[in-house]
Structure 1
Amino acid sequence: MSERSALRSRLEALTREVVKFGAVGGAGVVVNFVVFNLVRHLTEIPVVRASIIATVIATGTNYLGYRYFTYRERDKRGRTRELSLFLLFSVVGLVIENGILYTATYGFDWDSPLQSNFFKFLGIGVATLFRFWSYRTWVFRTLPAREAVVSAESFLADDSERSRSTSRW
């Protein structure tokens, strides 16, 4: 494989990863905003606490999406370690996300629903950059090369078996 085609292949893989990460993250953002606004408008819970509740719920749904969709082909050994690191980096993301909202709300007294949603969105954006880097680097690690080939061959064999069984109809 030439250097140029290797680079193209790596860029295509990264693009697929970013798109999948974005799809799961987008669903998480919807969950986050729905829960945030429901808690904020239906209860007397303060804005940052409502945001933390929403972030925790969205983080739980995101883990499932990342593990079983975005990074399903990544190393599955050591789930306890994976989940521990995911929670650690998610807490850092939660602090980033809600720290921005906290600063806007209590530092500048920007507490209207529109302002809260804007700064929550800004916080999610900044925290997402951190989460993408940390999840792909530390949590959902790539398989060693030999195991990746075996995993891909196994996946292709299973896929070919599925297509043969469905083509009999």
Structure 2
Amino acid sequence: MIVLKNHIYKTIVIAVALTMVFSCKNNFDNVKKIGVSENAPIGVAENMNLKYTDSGRVTANLRSPKMLDFSNRDFPFSEFPNHVELDLFDDDNQKSTITADYAIIYDKTGLIDMQGNVVLASSKKDTLYAEQLYYDQNREWLFTNQPITFKSKGNILKGNIFDSNVKFTEVQLTESKEGVILIDE
């Protein structure tokens, strides 16, 4: 009888232990999120001046009074709510500058969405004015489907859809509203 009771106790203990082992989950990610609101940034930077380099050469310089870091999201991004300036340097170290009231950089895609009073001044004195402009960092490509004004070599062009590389050597402007071409005398 004692042997039977010991066997029953051992069986119960083993069953409870196995149940506990198999019911445990790895909840470390959930534990890390405790105390962090899903809508709050994980970090805030002020007066930032960020330089991107490639092979020891500065290719871009981003400046903003405030950056909100949402890298804790499933689709991480950085938000610049107060103003942003982005200098882009080509292979000849010529600088083009983009300014905007607001911007978001999506980490996974390399896409920068700039909004509000967007002005792009190229090294060749071309200027683009828009309310929204996207910059694809991987392809070095600019585009928008919002109204734009493009000034280049005395020409003033207006349209709704704009596509171009950062050097403005492959400019496509469609849904053109109007254009003024100035002729040098």
- Give the shorter-chain TM-score range: under 0.3
Q: Which has the higher helix share?
A: 1
Greater RCO structure (CA 8 Å; 6+ sep): 1
Q: Which has the higher strand share?
A: 2
- TM-score normalised to structure 1 length: 0.21
